[in-house]
A and B are shown apart, each in its own frame.
Chain A
């Protein structure tokens, strides 16, 4: 590290008296502070260099808010949505903290893109900085993985369907695709094991990798030194250096302050939403990923059948390898972007392509009336669900009607038939009803089992008009189904 030899400012002697002296004798506080703060920056402090510490700040904020959210969150398909609803609607400051965490994820990606762009445009990967660049590339992947895994955890409609589509993309990879998808999901379908996997990845596995990579990234940065402005020699800095403290720290802190104010205002004035619980039987739901995955989402739409290997695997792999190999491909000492037309052109091309793909996706959604209408409906449902008061989940020990019904083995069998025949699609889980079909709760009080059987076998004209099919069931199954429907209270 460079603390002592590079500093061209007067460095005071270390304190030997008072609390500071006491700490100095035990942990070398002054030396520690000096090595942390006296990093020389060739060419002086600049606003262009503030994004790295901005990222560190958001990461810290994500850890703290994430740990606190875990106080109330339960990672299981049964409880995830209820506990997130509890956090959002009941717990003091819960909506605010969840907002900070969710908006923080977006902010992280924005600042990450700025940090990456600055490094790339400034040619700051040059001059023995290959390992620094690699660790940065891995961190980029990890941050995207955090965003992907965290998105599922609330287990609302949006989270469920976006992740179903996202994990489905893996199955396009030849040979191992299907196994990979099953591995990610913890089974062929999305379910409670998917939540467990995503939760463990989101709170244990990926954060551990990020800690290690951030440590490596910072170590490598200090080992090789700051690159300085575009006119600086990346190997042997020649411009007059300024220490990190105080001017660069003040600039970095101004970004932090801006992030605190921005995220705080967003979380407070635009409260984060929570949609209705995930309903896998909902065939109408149109999934859309968060903005940062929109370009990939739109990209994948262009590749079908045999060509999908190109879109899912070959082209992204080539692009990723090209990005990783940038320090080897662009080896000259020249860092000014206008003197590196290929590197600068590639950057502009990739960025425009990503922005173009994202905008194209938005444009298509906006100009397809059916899609636009359904998306608007989903947004309204989300807002409605968010504004409803919190309803505690009925524990399985409860004497509730839904559970009493299952005490009868015939009704329990009927429930599986009810679900297998997709009655849930229109009449909802437990017969609560949906927009497509009426509720069945209490129908047992109006009709006898014989009448219900007859209605199922020969639906009325009104039922037929509403789209009610005639289930073709053996007598025993019909009895079970009628027993279940009658038991709904």
Chain B
């Protein structure tokens, strides 16, 4: 190989390396929107349970026993959403704070009605009995009725509905 050829070859290799580097940089730049697009579920919530309005706080200011409310829960799942209705009870805990109870029995999932005459919740399926604040009184259940996460905002009571595992002593969110 003569000197000219060696020089030519060096130029060719250098240019090749430069082109490879340039292409790699441009490729990496172009990959940015692709990666952001694919990682969207990491950057933003794609499934979401929205807080549902229960009613105005003034409605519950002079509460002497649990009141039943039907709430609409909106569950966003990517590009679709499911709207369903659930029954909850607005009541007060032992310190007089407003709480919202799920009407789903923590024993086996029946809907628990408020029995006004007896001043207690009684499950019609297996006879679990709960106090007005949802605490367990008697029956086959292993814990009291489940309280739901609430937010008070602009004079409104909002609740985030969740499902909890049944037949266990500790409240455990599922789904």
List A residues at the B interface (Cβ < 8 Å).
9-10, 12, 64-65, 68, 71-72, 79, 82-83, 85-86, 90-94, 96-97, 100, 245-246, 249-250, 253, 257, 260, 390, 392-395, 397-400
Contact = CB atoms under 8 A, between A and B. Distances in A.
B1 A10 contact: yes
B8 A10 contact: yes
A72 B40 CA distance: 11
- Give the interface size bracket for B toward A: 20 to 34
A399 B84 contact: yes
A129 to B, nearest CB: 29
A64 B30 CA distance: 11
A1 to B, nearest CB: 19
A395 B37 contact: no
Given A392-B81, A398-B82, A93 B1 contact: no
A397 B83 CA distance: 8
Interface in B61-92: 72, 76-85
A68 B38 contact: yes
Interface in B1-56: 1-2, 4-5, 8-9, 12, 15-16, 19, 23, 26, 30, 32-34, 36-40, 43-44
B10 to A, nearest CB: 10
Nearest to A392: B81
6 contacts: A12-B5, A82-B80, A249-B19, A390-B79, A394-B82, A397-B82
Nearest to A249: B19
Given A68-B34, A92-B37, A398-B84, A392 B79 contact: yes
A79 B79 contact: yes
B36 A92 contact: yes
A86 B30 CA distance: 22
A97 B81 contact: no
A97 B33 contact: yes
Nearest to B79: A86
A72 B26 contact: no
A197 B82 CA distance: 29
Nearest to B12: A246
A170 B161 CA distance: 54
Chain B interface secondary structure, helix, strand, loop or mixed? helix
A91 B45 CA distance: 11
B68 to A, nearest CB: 17
B78 A64 contact: no
Given A86-B78, A92-B44, A68 B37 contact: yes
A393 B79 CA distance: 6
Nearest to A401: B83
Residue of A9, A97, A100, A392 with highest tally of chain B CB at under 10 A: A392
Interface in B99-132: none
Contacts of B5: 10, 12
Contacts of A12: 1, 5, 9
A394 B80 contact: yes
Nearest to B77: A395
Given A92-B37, A260-B30, A399 B85 contact: yes
A245 B20 CA distance: 13
Sorted nearest first, the 7 A-B pairs with minimum C-beta distance are A10-B5, A86-B79, A93-B33, A392-B81, A398-B83, A395-B82, A93-B36
Contacts of A392: 76-81
A93 B77 CA distance: 19
Nearest to A96: B33
A246 B15 contact: yes
Contacts of A92: 36-37, 39-40, 43-44
Contacts of B43: 92
A113 B82 CA distance: 48
Given A246-B12, A246-B19, 9 more contacts: A10-B2, A246-B16, A260-B26, A392-B76, A392-B77, A392-B81, A394-B80, A399-B72, A399-B84
Nearest to A79: B79
A400 B82 CA distance: 9
A332 B139 CA distance: 100
A12 to B, nearest CB: 5
Given A12-B5, A246-B15, A71 B84 contact: no
A260 B33 CA distance: 13
A86 B8 CA distance: 54
Contacts of A250: 19
A101 B72 CA distance: 39
Nearest to A9: B8
A400 B83 contact: yes
